[in-house]
Amino acid sequence: MIAVIGAGPVGGYLASKVNDVCIYEEHKEIGKPVQCTGVVTGRIFDYVKFSNKFVVNKIKKVRLHSMCNEFSFNLKNTEYVIDRTEFDRNIINDAVSKGAKLVKG
């Protein structure tokens, strides 16, 4: 059996790709507490089945402020802000539906 430590997106994604795997998560609830901004590259669509229902916002421009200046620029590609809790749960549920075992804290 393969042990995956942590029920985040990477652990869930990898667990969905192998047989005889157990995901160990220290928390009782998947996706909580949120430990990430949820900003992801658009390239995520190349790797993960991704529903637009997880998209909270799209980022096309960045604006930085300091005490003495402001700087902004347009992004070459759109970036996305996702609901990390629901995204994490979806990936883990997919892994479990494919046979992964899940042990929560």
Question: What pLDDT score was predicted for residue 36?
Answer: 87
Please provide residue 30's backbone torsions phi and psi, each rounded to the nearest 5 degrees. -65, 135
Confidence of residue 19 (pLDDT cuts 50, 70, 90): very high
2-104: CATH architecture: 3-Layer(bba) Sandwich (3.50)
Average of per-residue pLDDT across 42-52: 81
Q: State the sign of the Cα–Cα–Cα–Cα dihedral 86, 88, 94, 97.
A: negative
- List, for residues 49-77, the tens digit of each pLDDT value: 777 889 999 999 999 999 999 999 999 99
Distance between CA 88 and CA 33 in Å, rounded? 11
Average of per-residue pLDDT across 32-43: 90
Distance between CA 38 and CA 57 in Å, rounded? 10
Map out the domains of the chain as residue ranges: 2-104
Please provide residue 35's backbone torsions phi and psi, each rounded to the nearest 5 degrees. -125, 25
Question: What pLDDT score was predicted for residue 52?
Answer: 84
Average pLDDT for the chain:
92
Q: Is the pTM of this model over 0.75?
A: yes
Which are the contacts of 43, defined by CB distance < 8 A and separation ≥ 6? Answer: none
Question: What pLDDT score was predicted for residue 35?
Answer: 85
pLDDT exceeds 90 at position 48: no
Rg (CA), the chain: 17
Tell me 98's DSSP state: T
